[in-house]
Chains A and B, each alone.
Chain A
Amino acid sequence: MSQSPSPDGNSERLEQIVAYLDGELSPADSARVEQQLAADEGFREELQSIDRAWVALDELPSTRADDSFLQTTMEIVVDSARREAAEKTQALPMQRRKRRLATILFGVSAILLGMLAFRLTWSNPNRLLLNDLPVIYQLDIYSQFEQVNFLRMLHQGIGDQGWPLPKEDIENQELQLQLILSTENRRKWLSQMSNHEQVTLRANFNRFRGLPPAEQVRMRSLHREIDATEDSKELRGTLVRYEQWLNHLPASEQYSLREQPAAARAHRVVRMVHEKRKADALQLTPKQLQQFWHKMHSRLGVLERELVVDLTDGERERYQNLNGDPRRKYFFLMSIATPKQIKEHLLPAVLETLPREARIQFERLPTMRKREQLAGWWRQAQMLRQNHWQEPGRNRSGGALEKELEAFFVEELGPGDKERLLALPNDQMQRQLERMYRGVPSSRGRGGFPERDHRPPPGLGPPPGFERRPQDHHEDDHEGHQRRRGRRPRRSSMDDDHPH
């Protein structure tokens, strides 16, 4: 598998891989590399081998300076400063004369240069900036769409309240826009900007001036067109929200959106926003997870007492091997319980602990996602409990979350999921693993990685009740299990109330 870069296309391919791993590719190139990663196993393996060697460098021990290093160096520096000061004092009279002459020369040349610069530039930049301020301020978003109708489609599909964004951010941005939309306020607004904001605006201004004239004209017209419409207030609001929402997307995803025709793009944005809202509704607070855990724990106890009297020999052996591990016990009980038992003893009581929106979204999930969501809540609650119901630290050097994720990766993911995760750069792998751990589906929707691979790793993972054949994917797990137990197959309790 080891290959060295050769003068042919291989070195270009390696450059792409390395730049991708370092996050140095343009969004377009990143999207291309991701497509190739999904399609080409050889490419994926090569990326993995490069990344593996890079990760191994973490083993390089770091070195610390000796305790005396700082003191010794400071002594040398102080000594050097003393000598420098002495030299300066000796040369002072001569320096004074030189400095006076230099000041006069500098003053004269500054006046000449200033006059020249004024003549060259007085007419252009400030006037341009003031005239085009709203477009320059929102340059990124104006480059993302071509027609006003695109904003209208977004507004119809999502409205003002549907965007999963912090309210304060939107209000703040709307206020800023309101100020710069009025030409009288622009000068005042500019004078009140912080240094950082000035630098950002200057960069936008330079980018705008670097655009082809036709593109500048297009953006100005688009801006005027929005202003002239009857629903300009709603469209401006949508523009602000769309911009903030886009900022949360990875660059490659922004690029792939931009590449789509306007109608398809609007449709996809609306779908993504709705999916995100649904996923957000299923995120529980620590307090809600605590209530969920207590109810789940007590109901699982009832279920356990009922089930242990009726275990087969194989099941009893597995039950004894659980050694009280709550993670394994959960999967074991969920796999051997009948749909009726789950529906009557577990679900209603557990769902009562959820907030209304979470309950509604949960009821709408397909069976397999319901399973994953319940397992996800259970895992999160279990971890919070180990952390005394406090949010765990998320640093990468250790802590409860890392241990939990590691156990989840090793014990619960199938080989396909592992392979796909390992093909991702480290930070993406970490984020994706966390999403899967919490039972949250991919933000890329059904078509994109990762849909969960339900093959468990050999010898580990969920017990047999959760194993699925590919053709079983939309069937109920319990049916297969019931057949093995010699009972009449029945639909899952989770299937009863919602069509796929």
Chain B
Amino acid sequence: MLEVCADNATAFEELMGRYQNRVVSLMTHLVGHRDMAEDLAQEVFMRVYRARGRYVPGAKFSTWLYTIAHNVASNALRGLSRRREVNLVSRESGEFKGNPMDAAALAASGLMPTRQLDKAELQDVVKIAIAALNERQRMAVLLNKFEHLSYEEIAEVMQLSPSAVKSLLTRARSNLRDVLDPYLQQGAKVEGNGEAAALKERTTDEHQ
């Protein structure tokens, strides 16, 4: 990043190469539209470049990047919600990235019939569960689960206190459990506009 601050375009290209998939993926899960996610990711990198002079050496770059991404996504979602265009997360399929050991362990325990689940169906349920979270819960979950940010880093990104992040993640994980666990336990399919919609209503109410 210091090279980028010194107007080195190659360094910026390298930085983008390193983070582009993560930012696009984050945006896709946040806004639910692939095309829009790429536009927003582009906006994020543009802002990073424009704000390069304000980057403080020694600060963690990823935290700074996700702060910008959070602001961009929040603005976009506000615009979307004004136009009442919020959809569920898109249903593109993707490669399985989970830990096969964990899944096998759980399956073998007899506690969850994962082995009988259709993978695409499980992916759908997970997408529904994620989409059912409110915007802030979703952001916190994605940063914690996929970007491995600590509570303190998430707090910095979302301009909250660490204890607020703790509560946010607790509610998010409880909501995820409420949607996913019946399915994981009994294979009961969650309907996109049934239970999840009801949950979405509830989590929106919780929004502070």
Q: List the interface of chain A (C-beta within 8 A of B).
A: 1-5, 11, 14-15, 18-19, 22, 24, 48-50, 52-66, 69-70, 72-74, 76-78, 80-81, 396-398, 402, 405-406, 409-410, 418-419, 421-422, 426, 429-430, 433, 457
Encode B7-39 as 1/0 by CB contact (under 8 A) with A: 101001100110011011100110000100110
**Inter-subunit contact A55/B106 (CB<8 Å):** yes
* Docked complex: B75-111 residues within 8 A CB-CB of A: 92-106, 108-109, 111
Contact of A422 among B38, B111, B119, B141 (CB under 8 A): B111
A72 cross-chain contacts in B, Cβ below 8 A: 42
A402 to B141 alpha-carbon distance, docked (Å): 27
Q: Is the CB of A48 within 8 A of B111?
A: yes
With a CB–CB cut-off of 8 A, which chain A residues contact B184? Answer: 52-53, 56
A49-B181, A54-B176, A59-B123 known; A22 vs B105 contact (CB < 8 Å) = no
A-B contact pairs, 12 of them (CB 8 A): A19-B166, A53-B177, A59-B126, A62-B25, A64-B21, A65-B38, A70-B16, A73-B42, A80-B49, A397-B99, A406-B101, A409-B101
Q: Assuming A14-B173, A55-B98, A410-B104, what are 5 further A-B pairs, CB within 8 angstroms?
A: A50-B174, A53-B177, A61-B93, A63-B21, A76-B46
Question: Which of A2, A19, A61, A405 is B177 in contact with, Cβ under 8 Å?
Answer: A2
Inter-chain contact A73/B46, CB cutoff 8 Å: yes
User: Is B50 close to A, CB under 8 A?
Assistant: yes
Greatest chain B CB density within 10 A among A76, A406, A433 is at: A406
Alpha-carbon gap, A61 to B125, bound state (A): 12
How distant is the Cα of A227 from the Cα of B141 in the complex, in angstroms?
A: 51
Is B132 part of the binding interface, using a Cβ–Cβ cutoff of 8 Å? no
- Interface residues, chain B, CB within 8 Å of chain A? 7, 9, 12-13, 16-17, 20-21, 23-25, 28-29, 34, 37-38, 41-42, 45-46, 49-50, 92-106, 108-109, 111-112, 119, 122-123, 125-127, 129-130, 141, 144-146, 150-151, 166-167, 169-171, 173-182, 184-185
A112 to chain B, nearest CB (A): 24
Pick the contact of A22: B29, B129, B151 (CB < 8 A).
Answer: B151
Q: A22-B151, A24-B151 are in contact. Are A77 and B108 (CB under 8 A)?
A: no
**A to B contact number (C-beta, < 8 Å):** 190
**How far apart sit A128 and B12, CA to CA, in the bound complex (Å)?**
43
Which A residues are CB-close (under 8 A) to B37? Answer: 63
Decide: A66 and B126 in contact? CB cutoff 8 A: no
Let me know if B46 and A77 touch, CB within 8 A. Answer: yes
Chain A residues whose C-beta falls within 8 Å of the C-beta of B167 in the assembled complex: 15
Contact B177 A60 (CB under 8 A): no
Residues in A neighbouring B24, C-beta threshold 8 A: 63-65, 69
Contact B127 A60 (CB under 8 A): yes
Return A480 CB to nearest CB of chain B, in Å: 27
Question: A74's closest neighbor in chain B, by CB?
Answer: B13
Whether B109 lies near A50 (C-beta < 8 A) is no
Residue of A nearest to B96 (CB): A59
Contact of B97 among A4, A62, A429 (CB under 8 A): A62
For A56, the chain B residues whose CB sits under 8 A away are 122, 125-126, 129, 180, 184
Query: Are A60 and B126 in contact, with the CB atoms below 8 A?
Result: yes
With A54-B173, A57-B130, A63-B21 known to touch, is A76 a contact of B42 (CB < 8 Å)? yes
Q: Which residue of A lies closest to B98 (CB)?
A: A58
Q: Please measure, in the bound complex, the distance between the C-alpha atom of A15 and the C-alpha atom of B167, giving whole angstroms.
A: 7
Q: Which partner residue on chain B sits nearest A10 by CB separation?
A: B174
Give Cα distance in the complex from A265 to B194, angstroms. Answer: 56
| Chain A residues near B98 (CB-CB < 8 A) | 55, 58-59
In the complex, A270→B116 CA distance in Å?
49
Q: State whether A429 touches B105 (Cβ < 8 A).
A: yes
Please give, as numbers and ranges, the residues of chain B lying within 8 Å of A18 by CB-CB distance.
Answer: 166, 169-170, 173
Residue of B nearest to A61 (CB): B94
CB distance from A212 to the nearest CB of B (A): 24
Cβ distance B155 to chain A, nearest Cβ, rounded Å: 11
Q: Which of B23, B100, B105, B182 has the most CB of A within 10 A?
A: B105
Q: Which residues of B contact A52 (CB under 8 A)?
A: 106, 111-112, 177, 180-181, 184
Known: A52-B184, A62-B94, A66-B38. A421 touches B105 (CB 8 A): yes
Residues on the B chain within 8 Å of A60, using CB: 29, 94, 123, 126-127, 130, 146
Cβ distance B54 to chain A, nearest Cβ, rounded Å: 14
Q: Are B109 and A70 in touch, CB under 8 angstroms?
A: no
Chain A residue nearest to B13 (CB atoms) is A74
CA–CA, A65 and B146, complex, Å: 16
- Cβ B185 vs Cβ A73 within 8 A: no
Leading 7 A-B pairs by shortest Cβ distance: A61-B94, A58-B98, A53-B180, A53-B177, A410-B108, A65-B24, A65-B20
Query: Shortest CB–CB separation between residue A172 and chain B, in angstroms?
Result: 27
- Contact status of A15 and B170, CB under 8 A, knowing A76-B46, A426-B99: yes
CB-defined contacts of A409 to chain B, threshold 8 Å:
101, 104-105, 108
Nearest A-chain residue to B183, judged by Cβ = A56
How long is the Cα–Cα vector from A83 to B160 in the complex, in angstroms? 36
Contact between chains at A62 and B123 (CB < 8 Å): no
Best-buried of A62, A426, A429 by chain B (most CB within 10 Å): A62
Q: How far is the CA of A123 from the CA of B24 in the complex (A)?
A: 53
| Nearest-neighbor residue (CB-CB) of A60 within chain B | B126
Q: In the complex, what's the smallest C-beta–C-beta distance from A311 to chain B, in angstroms? A: 30
A58 touches B46 (CB 8 A): no
Residues in B neighbouring A73, C-beta threshold 8 A: 16, 20, 42, 45-46
Chain A contacts of B105 at CB under 8 A? 406, 409, 418, 421-422, 429, 433
Contact of A69 among B42, B96, B171 (CB under 8 A): B42
Q: A2-B178, A396-B101, A409-B108 are in contact. Are A77 and B127 (CB under 8 A)?
A: no
